[in-house]
A and B are shown apart, each in its own frame.
Chain A
Amino acid sequence: MHFQLQISYQIKALLSGLLLVLSSATLWSAERTTEGLLALYDFTGTDGVTIQDRSGVDPALDLKIEDSKAVSRTRGVLKVHGETQIRSLKTATKILNAVRQSGEITVEAWIHPENITQSGPARILTISRNSSERNFTLGQDGNKLDARLRTTRTSKNGMPSTVSPKGSLQAQLMHVIYTRNRSGNAFIYINGKQAAKKTVAGKPSNWDGSLHLALTNETSRDRPWKGSYHLVALYGRALSGSEIQANFKAGADADSEELLARLRARKKASLFHQEIAPLLVKHCLECHDATTRKGKLDLSHKTNALAGGKEGRAIIPGKGSQSLLWQMVADNEMPEDRDPLSASEKASLKKWINDGAYWPVDFIDPLAYKPDANAGKIFIRRLTAPEYIETVRATLGVDLSAQAQELLPADLRADGFSNTAYNLGVDLKHVEAYARLAAIAVAKMNIREFAARFSSNRSLTQKPMRSHIEKLGKWILRGPLEDHEINAYRGISTAVAASGGNFDEAIGFIVEAMLQSPRFMYLVEGQNKTGTPVRINDYELASRISYIIWGAPPDRQLMQAADEHELGDPARTAAQVRRMLADPRARKRSERFAYEWLHLERLKHLTPDKKRFPGWNSQLADDMSAETIAFFRDITWQQKRPLADLLNAQFTYATQRLAEHYRFSADGGKPSGETVKTRPEKNGLTRYDLSAIPSRGGLLTHGSVLTIGGENASMVTRGLFILHDLLRGTIKDPPPGTDTTPMPSKPGQSQRTIAEMRINDKACGGCHTKFEPLAFGLERYDGLGTFRKHDRFENLLREDGELLLPGKVKPIPYKSSAELMDILAGNDRVAENITWKLTQFALGRPLAGPDVPILKKIHAQSLKNGGKYTDTMTAIVLSDLVRMSQPDKAASSRN
């Protein structure tokens, strides 16, 4: 049997080799993955003793050939025919940091062994001190590959090793990969096929930081390997099977220019997004955006910026010293009347121009690049109160809604949402509430049934109790437990046993402690110290996905996917996302988003002047909130329409009370379809067809949104809402102390007339022209959303106006509010903004400049699939903003 397997493997290897010969010249077009790449050697150099690390990941880990006579170099191939050593000039610190951080590693090589007899194992690649101390070694042992990884559970020598089957290695060009994930699953792939699998438990936290990376021999020079290297790559993460196949299909092409071009572009794009665009926003765009264009220079658009202004070309790519922009900045002539650029900003600007002024976007969105001193600081995110309630329910089957709402302090809204991580601090009241809620939850549980889900053993003794804690803890704390954690919880069971307590009591107290653990209360993720984005581990990813889609913890299927390392595979993750979006919790979560995005909580506290609005009551406010949520639900889940349709869909929901408030009967609004009972029957909502009411239709015509302008229906406030929250525009604040007391309407002077006076005023118009016309189309709605054609002074109200989109010079005219809604619904910036808002809510943090390229991709992907809620959520979850951990700048600067 074993012999047959071996023959079979040799045949497969041979076929793979043939395929390889056929494919290597043609399949380079398949894209190699660059995510998590740490070091790359393509051996393109033909002279000298240095082999360059061409990954573009700083610091470069170049290698030095000890004896050049032992090798021969041709472009793309390094042939080792004698005994020598090739060793990194520096210690392999960047690899060490990344691997310690992620607990994962991938070593990839295109090699051609000289023979299938060398052994020792003969060192193909090693990070080791000598033949018995190592972090990692990939070696050849006859016709097998042998990989040794040091972890807290393996020996200093990385034993036991992971070994490929006999005959799996041939004396021909072969693609070999060793990859190991955080869960301890290690694989060897040969020519794209899995050749070996082994569990290598433990963590690489004990890696030796003083070791170098070496090829072709052990550091002690007693395990030489001979053969040719065509490519060597190291990653700080595990690669999925599909990624390994893609790398294999990409071939051993020695001239990896396409890959390197991608890496170079990535680096240049990073400079632009992280330094240049924020610098232009901070110092230049106040006077040189598309609207202001001082000196006829617009530095917000790529084409305009490169064309220059009336003084000539501001930016001459490759020629910093000849570029007017640089000259003015260097001499501190610009920015005018503002602080000059810092030395480091100047250096970045000059380098950018000299390197070709790489400008990867058409338009610099000021809001996306707003200077943010804390961008990159990673705040651990506490569960919000609704997430806590849902987590307890999903984990233990206990409903704590009533008690949690009574005991837990409210989460305060910051930057538009109440799940913003930096603002989710804790006070004594929180801690007290968590302790009391944990006890209440345990009291409400059926401990015996719950414990039996993990083990039938009810012993309080060491071994079974540890095992019970390990299994139960993995479920409650959303990932495997460390030894120190098991010990801490074991302490509780010991205390219970010592006091004569029983098994159920022990489990009850353990659960009570786990419910107060940081791993329960927070989304705990390891710090990224590497300076570049790295993939988060499977359990962290599972939690991110479930809290994004459900606001709840991973279920068993998602945990199982994490156990089996499926979430590294985008296709499998996408399947999970599809499954999860079909769950009712996804709907509930989406409604939470709408509630927070539009700040519907505000409606609960509206108290308009009773004299002016005698008919107002709090039930009407509830109806408005219910209208918007029902409308959102219909668009996103029932009709499954693109999110942009929220702006102009021709239907709504209203109670009879709200319909009267809206004067539907007078305007021709007709009930359509079924009545939706969202609350007690007396508050039942009826779906209304608005096709006969051109002035209604879309979120902006909902009372819930129109009340944003206050009882005076402020055009300034409404216009700013559209600018900020729909168009993602920015505007300077009014000069401090400006008398913003509005002029009241009077006979012959409507609010529109007054707004036009502001727009025509030299001091105010520059800014007001950017946002007040956005609200002109809403003038016919009073402060509480009632439609009328005349104000209380009998001034005729208008609904025409002009829409000036951020970054554009030419306004778009509209004749009616319906036309305004159609323009907004059809505008990609509005659609993109909804994507951005959803992404912010998903991530629980404000977005920043480095997120922009990924946000663009998310939006493009969502639109490609239809632009629906589910499309956007899928694109968000599959994006690098969710799958990757961003570098913790606070860590790199302080640790």
Chain B
Amino acid sequence: MSHHKITRRSVLRGLGGITVGLPLLEEMTVTDVLGAAAKQPIPARAFNVFFGLGIPAPLQTEGFNGVLEPLKSLSEKLLIMRNVDQVRCDQSGINAHFDGASGAFTATAPDGSAKSGGASIDQLVRRAHYPNGLPKGLVPTLVAGTFFRRSRISRYIHSYNPDGTIAASMQEKPRDLFDRVFGTVNLTGNDKDEKRKRLKRSVLDAVVDQYQYYTGANSPLGTTSKSRLRDHLDRIRELEQRAFAKDHKLNQDSGIPPVPPKSLLKHEGKADPGGQGIDISLKELTSEWRLMAELYALAILTDRVRFGSLTFLAAGERIRLTGDYQYEGRKIFTFDDANQHNASGDKGCSHEWWHKFNEKKDNEALRAHAHMKMREVAYFLDALNDEGAIEGNGKTILENSLITISTESGDGRHNDVRRELSGVFHAISGAGGRFKTGEIMDVNAEGIDVYNTMLDAVGSKERLGPAKRDHRKIDNIRA
């Protein structure tokens, strides 16, 4: 599972002979990026970063001395928010892990097993800044992540349209993620026949014509259906772009990484054997996480992607983790979930540590799991914060973007129905100086008000949650 770390610098070096099938945006060419980057406007970007299970509220109070330690090096560029309440996302009859996961970034309860109650933050920012769609060549929304529990989709997908449907399919393997962002499309086979290519183009034109009709003013369809077909049309546009854009010279020395190796982890149905969980080593898990994080970061660095979400496992995750966990040269813990629980199947999985959380005890295993996840989240954020991520204004992409980090559960204690969705961990980046950073703040507010304040600050007029609700501005998070 080992690989060479992918950096923007190596990418930029190779861009002169780009090999990928996507047409390059003007601002992506070597000259633009290296020579005239300062002239480029900083694009609006918003990403949701989700990690599974959460950090019990009492552990959040320990600041960087506890499980949040891996975020310390980024602390000046993040606002860590405690006491964010997502109780409104609780839905009777539905597992709280699922409610919380669905509520992350949407502040609404789930509406069906594969639908949230409304839009996610990143999508409303996208609509605000690109009401007519993103520039050609960009992936409209990139949803990616590593996860195993598959029973309900909003456990692991964290980008939603306003009608609550998923904003994009999940890329759950490194190679899928690579293909989604950098892949080529070949509609004409190896045919070099220009005539045939022209006719293929004509076919696609007719297809586009049909989708335009059904999404246009004279469409007989309703709003929701039109929106669905509009998404389809967007995908066709991407296909068109990739299939018929001017060919670029193949250059084996390109900085674009080679196609990632085939994932060795279990995916799709195999990754979720009837909810019973899978055995996995720390090395296997983090190798894949890191590759996904690097590829996702690369998609941002090369400006292929401006909106989406990245998931590090998800609600009610079912893995039985093994392996020594070390951080900065010191051993934190030896993961051995099944043996430590003395149980097999789902009851031997790491998520049981959250069910067993007790404020009066050490919670050593839970702490180690949460610490490790923070380390991986920090790894992704670091990739957007190194020198290769500096933009025209001298700030890094992490600083210039709205990156929201959250999870599914908060308090974790068992004696109050409403507690689990209280105190849900949140951290945000500065979004171009719009939000305070360098603080750990007790915001004592509902997630919906925090999110809507964020949306207001980044220029979105749309709001999450019920239209008639009196929204409370949480001004103390704003810079």
- Is this pair of chains taken from one and the same complex? yes
CB atoms of B112 and A488 under 8 A apart: no
Centre residue among B207, B222, B271, B419 by max chain A CB count within 10 A: B222
CB atoms of A509 and B203 under 8 A apart: yes
CB atoms of A374 and B111 under 8 A apart: yes
In chain B between 254 and 300, which residues have their CB closer than 8 angstroms to a CB of chain A? 268-276, 278
- Complex: how many Å from CA A509 to CA B200? 8
CB atoms of A888 and B223 under 8 A apart: yes
Q: Which residues of B contact A512 (CB under 8 A)?
A: 203
In chain A between 471 and 519, which residues have their CB closer than 8 angstroms to a CB of chain B? 484-485, 488-489, 491-492, 495-496, 499-501, 505, 509-510, 512-513, 516-519
Q: Considering the complex, give the chain B residue whose CB is closest to the CB of A505.
A: B199
- Bitwise interface map of A from 735 to 771 toward B, beta carbon under 8 Å scored 1, else 0: 1111111101000000000000000000000000000
- Complex: how many Å from CA A742 to CA B342? 12
Instruction: Determine if B430 is an interface residue (Cβ-Cβ < 8 Å).
Output: no
Q: Which residues of A contact B166 (CB under 8 A)?
A: 423, 425
CB atoms of B275 and A710 under 8 A apart: yes
Q: Which residues of B contact A742 (CB under 8 A)?
A: 347
Instruction: Determine if A666 is an interface residue (Cβ-Cβ < 8 Å).
Output: no
- Bitwise interface map of B from 200 to 227 toward A, beta carbon under 8 Å scored 1, else 0: 1011111101110110000011111100
Instruction: Determine if A712 is an interface residue (Cβ-Cβ < 8 Å).
Output: yes
CB distance from B343 to the nearest CB of A (A): 7
- Bitwise interface map of B from 408 to 435 toward A, beta carbon under 8 Å scored 1, else 0: 0101111011111100000000000000
CB atoms of A524 and B187 under 8 A apart: no
CB distance from B356 to the nearest CB of A (A): 6
Known: A518-B229, A711-B345. A888 touches B214 (CB 8 A): no
- Bitwise interface map of B from 100 to 116 toward A, beta carbon under 8 Å scored 1, else 0: 10000000000111110
CB atoms of A524 and B214 under 8 A apart: yes
Known: A730-B93, A736-B419. A439 touches B195 (CB 8 A): no
CB atoms of A426 and B92 under 8 A apart: no
CB atoms of A733 and B92 under 8 A apart: yes
CB atoms of A736 and B421 under 8 A apart: yes
Known: A488-B206, A488-B210, A496-B199. A737 touches B414 (CB 8 A): yes
CB atoms of B236 and A732 under 8 A apart: no
CB distance from B131 to the nearest CB of A (A): 15
- Bitwise interface map of A from 29 to 51 toward B, beta carbon under 8 Å scored 1, else 0: 00000000000000000000000
CB atoms of B153 and A379 under 8 A apart: no
Centre residue among B199, B200, B347 by max chain A CB count within 10 A: B199
Known: A422-B165, A484-B213, A707-B274. A737 touches B420 (CB 8 A): yes
CB atoms of B169 and A409 under 8 A apart: yes
Q: Which residues of B contact A382 (CB under 8 A)?
A: 228
CB distance from B272 to the nearest CB of A (A): 6
Instruction: Determine if B357 is an interface residue (Cβ-Cβ < 8 Å).
Output: yes
Instruction: Determine if B246 is an interface residue (Cβ-Cβ < 8 Å).
Output: no
Interface band, chain A: 35 or more
CB atoms of A738 and B414 under 8 A apart: yes
Instruction: Determine if A372 is an interface residue (Cβ-Cβ < 8 Å).
Output: yes
Instruction: Determine if B72 is an interface residue (Cβ-Cβ < 8 Å).
Output: no
- Complex: how many Å from CA A612 to CA B276? 14
Q: Which residues of A contact B99 (CB under 8 A)?
A: 733, 736
Known: A373-B117, A518-B211, A741-B356. A380 touches B229 (CB 8 A): yes
- Complex: how many Å from CA A736 to CA B94? 10
CB distance from A241 to the nearest CB of B (A): 27
Q: Considering the complex, give the chain A residue whose CB is closest to the CB of B154.
A: A414
Q: Which residues of A contact B207 (CB under 8 A)?
A: 513, 516-517
Instruction: Determine if B95 is an interface residue (Cβ-Cβ < 8 Å).
Output: yes
- Bitwise interface map of B from 334 to 349 toward A, beta carbon under 8 Å scored 1, else 0: 0000000101111100
Q: Considering the complex, give the chain B residue whose CB is closest to the CB of A895.
A: B223
Q: Which residues of A contact B419 (CB under 8 A)?
A: 736-737
Known: A488-B210, A895-B223. A740 touches B355 (CB 8 A): yes
Known: A432-B239, A513-B207. A737 touches B231 (CB 8 A): no
Q: Considering the complex, give the chain B residue whose CB is closest to the CB of A435.
A: B187
CB atoms of A735 and B346 under 8 A apart: no
CB atoms of A604 and B203 under 8 A apart: no
Instruction: Determine if B352 is an interface residue (Cβ-Cβ < 8 Å).
Output: yes
Q: Which residues of B contact A513 (CB under 8 A)?
A: 203-204, 206-207
CB atoms of B202 and A712 under 8 A apart: no
- Bitwise interface map of B from 167 to 208 toward A, beta carbon under 8 Å scored 1, else 0: 011000000000010000101000000010011101111110
- Complex: how many Å from CA A420 to CA B356? 36
Instruction: Determine if B90 is an interface residue (Cβ-Cβ < 8 Å).
Output: yes
Instruction: Determine if B382 is an interface residue (Cβ-Cβ < 8 Å).
Output: no
Q: Which residues of A contact B225 (CB under 8 A)?
A: 378-380, 527
A736 interface neighbour in B187, B211, B276, B409, Cβ under 8 Å: B409
- Bitwise interface map of A from 416 to 457 toward B, beta carbon under 8 Å scored 1, else 0: 100010110111111110011001000000000000000000
Instruction: Determine if B9 is an interface residue (Cβ-Cβ < 8 Å).
Output: no
- Complex: how many Å from CA A425 to CA B233? 12
CB atoms of B357 and A737 under 8 A apart: yes
- Bitwise interface map of B from 341 to 367 toward A, beta carbon under 8 Å scored 1, else 0: 101111100001011110000000000
A422 interface neighbour in B112, B199, B354, B411, Cβ under 8 Å: B112
Instruction: Determine if B248 is an interface residue (Cβ-Cβ < 8 Å).
Output: no
CB atoms of B165 and A733 under 8 A apart: no
CB atoms of A379 and B228 under 8 A apart: yes
Q: Which residues of A contact B238 (CB under 8 A)?
A: 428, 431
In chain A between 769 and 813, which residues have their CB closer than 8 angstroms to a CB of chain B? none
Interface band, chain B: 35 or more
CB atoms of A732 and B93 under 8 A apart: yes
Centre residue among B220, B236, B346 by max chain A CB count within 10 A: B220
Instruction: Determine if A415 is an interface residue (Cβ-Cβ < 8 Å).
Output: yes
Known: A491-B202, A499-B195. A733 touches B95 (CB 8 A): yes
Q: Which residues of A contact B223 (CB under 8 A)?
A: 888, 890-891, 894-895
Instruction: Determine if A597 is an interface residue (Cβ-Cβ < 8 Å).
Output: no
CB atoms of B232 and A415 under 8 A apart: no
CB atoms of B202 and A373 under 8 A apart: no
- Complex: how many Å from CA A489 to CA B202? 9
Instruction: Determine if B70 is an interface residue (Cβ-Cβ < 8 Å).
Output: no
Instruction: Determine if A526 is an interface residue (Cβ-Cβ < 8 Å).
Output: yes
Known: A710-B345, A735-B416, A737-B413. A377 touches B114 (CB 8 A): no
Q: Considering the complex, give the chain B residue whose CB is closest to the CB of A500.
A: B195
CB atoms of A491 and B206 under 8 A apart: yes
CB distance from B428 to the nearest CB of A (A): 24
- Complex: how many Å from CA A740 to CA B419? 16
CB atoms of B94 and A733 under 8 A apart: yes
Q: Considering the complex, give the chain B residue whose CB is closest to the CB of A370.
A: B93
Q: Considering the complex, give the chain A residue whose CB is closest to the CB of B416.
A: A735
Q: Which residues of B contact A427 (CB under 8 A)?
A: 168-169, 180, 235
CB atoms of B169 and A425 under 8 A apart: yes
B93 interface neighbour in A380, A425, A733, Cβ under 8 Å: A733
Q: Which residues of B contact A522 (CB under 8 A)?
A: 229
Instruction: Determine if A607 is an interface residue (Cβ-Cβ < 8 Å).
Output: yes
CB atoms of A711 and B344 under 8 A apart: yes
Q: Which residues of A contact B91 (CB under 8 A)?
A: 733
Instruction: Determine if A410 is an interface residue (Cβ-Cβ < 8 Å).
Output: yes
CB atoms of A426 and B411 under 8 A apart: no
Instruction: Determine if B398 is an interface residue (Cβ-Cβ < 8 Å).
Output: no
Instruction: Determine if B164 is an interface residue (Cβ-Cβ < 8 Å).
Output: yes
In chain A between 719 and 741, which residues have their CB closer than 8 angstroms to a CB of chain B? 730-741
- Complex: how many Å from CA A718 to CA B246? 58
Q: Which residues of B contact A609 (CB under 8 A)?
A: 344-345
Q: For the complex of A and B, list the 9 residue pairs with the smallest distance between their C-beta atoms, beginning with the closest.
A: A736-B420, A414-B114, A736-B96, A380-B225, A527-B222, A427-B169, A888-B222, A526-B220, A495-B202
18 contacts between A and B (CB under 8 A): A372-B112, A380-B221, A422-B115, A426-B232, A428-B238, A430-B235, A527-B220, A606-B274, A608-B276, A710-B346, A732-B93, A733-B93, A733-B94, A737-B412, A741-B341, A741-B356, A846-B112, A888-B223
A-B contacts besides A374-B112, A501-B199, 17 pairs, CB < 8 Å: A379-B165, A413-B113, A413-B114, A426-B235, A427-B168, A432-B185, A491-B205, A495-B199, A496-B202, A509-B199, A518-B211, A519-B210, A710-B274, A732-B92, A736-B419, A891-B222, A894-B223
